[in-house]
Amino acid sequence: MSNTGFDWAIVVPVLNEIDTLPDLLDHLQIWQQRGAEVLLVDGGSRDGTATAAHERGFRVISAPPGRASQMNAGAHHTRAAHLVFLHADTRLPGHADQRIQSAIARSALAWGRFDVRIEGQSRLLPVVAFLMNLRSRLSGIATGDQALFITRALFEQVGGFPAQPLMEDIEISKRLKHISAPVCLRARVRTSGRRWDQRGSWRTIVLMWQLRWAYWRGTPAQQLAERYR
């Protein structure tokens, strides 16, 4: 694979991901070979995640735990003009760099996300993914599982991710869409359904809707994070 000439960085917050790390690093290596700067931000792993990633040749920095603080730290440590925030259990689709480049070429204040496919054991996961993609397209709100991408100029204009332990993706989307509408790409990222498989599909669906409703009603993110654990 060759360098596309696209100036972009992939920021990945990680915490105790040693079991899934080999697959993640294999995936990220593909994008490195296509010219992406890859930065893993460790939130204090105790299972050797940071050391293992460093030994594979990846750049790793440390930050206080929490996706918002980790992703902000990653953005701060790269000067790439375009940022992609990728969860450790999410994989980008083929030619993601070209898709993103085309999507945000129109404006320095552009952002967007991919559709998502959730992989797991539950038969409900395709329905969950369909509804997630539809809700996002109608509301202009992106979730972290959808691999949010954004120009640095816009990221800095909204002040990065808010300093909160949950719903940071919802909050930054609300701020971003006041400036520009998201580009909703129909190409799908793949993300793990382990959350639904481990906790039960219906239980997880109900919990997530309850948390979103409570957040919309003004419940502080800290209280919601305690319920989410």
Closest CA relative to residue 170, chosen from 68, 87, 75 = 68
Average pLDDT score, the chain: 91
Whether residue 165 contacts residue 171, with contact meaning beta carbons closer than 8 Å, is answered with: no
151 falls in which pLDDT band (50, 70, 90)?
A: very high
pLDDT at 169 > cutoff 80: yes
Residue with tokens 């697959």: 23
Residue 184 backbone phi and psi in degrees, to 5:
-100, 100
Check residues 229 and 45 and name the one with the higher pLDDT: 45
pLDDT at 2 > cutoff 50: no
226 falls in which pLDDT band (50, 70, 90)?
A: low
Question: What confidence tens digit (pLDDT) does each residue in 11-47 have?
Answer: 999 999 999 999 999 999 999 999 999 999 999 999 9
Question: What confidence tens digit (pLDDT) does each residue in 56-91 have?
Answer: 999 999 999 999 999 999 999 999 999 999 999 999
Burial 119-146 (b: 16+ CB within 10 A, else e): ebebebbeebbeebbeebeeeebbbbbb
Token pair in block for residue 43: 């939130």
Output DSSP code: residue 63.
-
Inter-helix orientation angle 125-139/201-216, to 10°: 20
Output DSSP code: residue 145.
G
- In the chain the domains, ranked by start, together with CATH numbers, are 8-193 (3.90.550.10)
